[in-house]
Chains A and B, each alone.
Chain A
């Protein structure tokens, strides 16, 4: 176990250096969520007048969704890096090194998680500047970044499945973009459950995004809602297990 951790740590460090050296990678996934944060919080600002909208402002309601959107964007970048490593031969280099093969995937998971957490922190800081308040304070923000990281890992698994199966960077990116908006809009990310059409509200209940967004939303607006947090951890954790089982399988197939 310590050996796997040490090995994946080496590969994590490599990804971190890349992130620092190409800051664009960090901000690529952030640009669009930041624009959404600015635009949506203005365009939908009067939604708080609707009956049933129980948040102080649309901004307060929106911040968690933007954190989720950012983590999703970030996650869908993960597979692109995998394709690059396959094409450049770096993956082969790691595979012939005397390290466990699980370390290769795990190093990537840790790097994805770190990137998602860093990006979540940027979104929180920007929303603070825009006047958002966090009911749970700094511990709550820390909890948000942890949840965002887990959420990022879960979806990064899907991105890696696509990447390993297609070995095509563009395709991996496009599929990611195509998935992002439907899954977000078919959840409670931009409209509270009570204001959604009935069919959509039903769909949202089966959408893992809804659970992470609701947990984050509670942390921002009301406080430590342990039920929501447990549900988010359960659903997102479950999703992570499924996508990583798939990614591990695709990885084994790809390296054989």
Chain B
């Protein structure tokens, strides 16, 4: 069985490419291939300009991987974990220790630096894992479901850190099953399902592609609904405006300038407006429209407790 069929991805340097898909979509396989852990049986991929098969050795010094299964050594302290990684990446003498201290500080782990990792909470392990991925300052970072299973506070903290790395010029490939995560972090999103990329684009482009964006207009006087429908008809996409619960819902072709245009038209027709709201589809809507299924959430929904410290 092939885990990946039609996967054509591209991420410009210094941006975040989100790989969005449910469990079993093939995200881990894609990450394993791009991080040289798995040899693809066909096709090719370049990361940081290097071929993942033929230049794997060179590539390894330029990538970092952190993920869902925080791979940290339980029997080492936080500091020792990072120092070991620094040595494995051939940092010059003295540098692993300096770099470890710096990262522990940045990830608010300084107090726990000399504690064995087996005493760490889930959130702390995840931060340490991300810190380890950053030790060698790799230009390309792979984050495999970095916040799955994390409590909301740790999640937002991790997002901020990732945003900081991207602002500093790191290119990130992020896999996630959380639509809000892709929405917040990713410049471009590739939606994959059953080993195939079924859509790509920015979050906005994906939403446009699906359509479903609509203007909800509440009128001061409901008896004017018909007049309002006529006035807004030209703005609507192939589906006509419809009255739902006394509000007029107008499916839009283009969202740009739609609010101003609607207000102007209704004003010209002498129709009073109580409220105008743009209803934007979420990535959930996108996923549903693309796959015919809701995005599947997994066991990761329950947040792990963040311990003291």
- Residues of A with Cβ closer than 8 Å to B? 7, 10, 13-14, 17-18, 21-22, 88-90, 92-99, 255-256
B209 at the interface (CB under 8 A from A): no
A-B pair number, CB within 8 angstroms: 58
- Residues of B with Cβ closer than 8 Å to A? 35-39, 57-58, 60-61, 63, 65, 67, 69-71, 73-76, 80, 84-85, 87-90, 116, 132
Tell me if B71 and A93 are in contact (CB < 8 A): yes
Given A14-B76, A256-B38, is A99 in contact with B88 using a C-beta cutoff of 8 Å? yes
Instruction: Please report the C-alpha to C-alpha distance between residue A18 and residue B71 in the assembled complex, in whole angstroms.
Output: 16
Residues of A contacting B39 in the complex (Cβ-Cβ under 8 angstroms): 256
A91–chain B nearest beta-carbon distance, Å: 9
Tell me if B69 and A89 are in contact (CB < 8 A): yes
Q: Which of A10, A21, A92, A95 contacts B84 (CB 8 A)?
A: A10
Residues of A contacting B84 in the complex (Cβ-Cβ under 8 angstroms): 10, 13-14
Tell me if B80 and A98 are in contact (CB < 8 A): no
Instruction: Please report the C-alpha to C-alpha distance between residue A72 and residue B37 in the assembled complex, in whole angstroms.
Output: 32
Residues of B contacting A90 in the complex (Cβ-Cβ under 8 angstroms): 71, 73
Instruction: Please report the C-alpha to C-alpha distance between residue A97 and residue B35 in the assembled complex, in whole angstroms.
Output: 10
Instruction: Please report the C-alpha to C-alpha distance between residue A118 and residue B88 in the assembled complex, in whole angstroms.
Output: 26
Residues of A contacting B37 in the complex (Cβ-Cβ under 8 angstroms): 92, 95-96, 255
Given A93-B132, A98-B89, A98-B90, is A14 in contact with B73 using a C-beta cutoff of 8 Å? yes
Tell me if B73 and A21 are in contact (CB < 8 A): no
Given A10-B84, A255-B37, is A97 in contact with B73 using a C-beta cutoff of 8 Å? no
Given A10-B84, A10-B88, A14-B76, is A98 in contact with B71 using a C-beta cutoff of 8 Å? no
Name the residue on A nearest B63 (C-beta).
Answer: A96
B229–chain A nearest beta-carbon distance, Å: 58
Tell me if A97 and B88 are in contact (CB < 8 A): yes
Name the residue on B nearest A88 (C-beta).
Answer: B71
Residues of A contacting B35 in the complex (Cβ-Cβ under 8 angstroms): 96
9 of the cross-chain contacts (CB-CB < 8 Å) are A10-B84, A14-B73, A14-B84, A89-B67, A92-B65, A92-B71, A95-B36, A96-B60, A96-B65
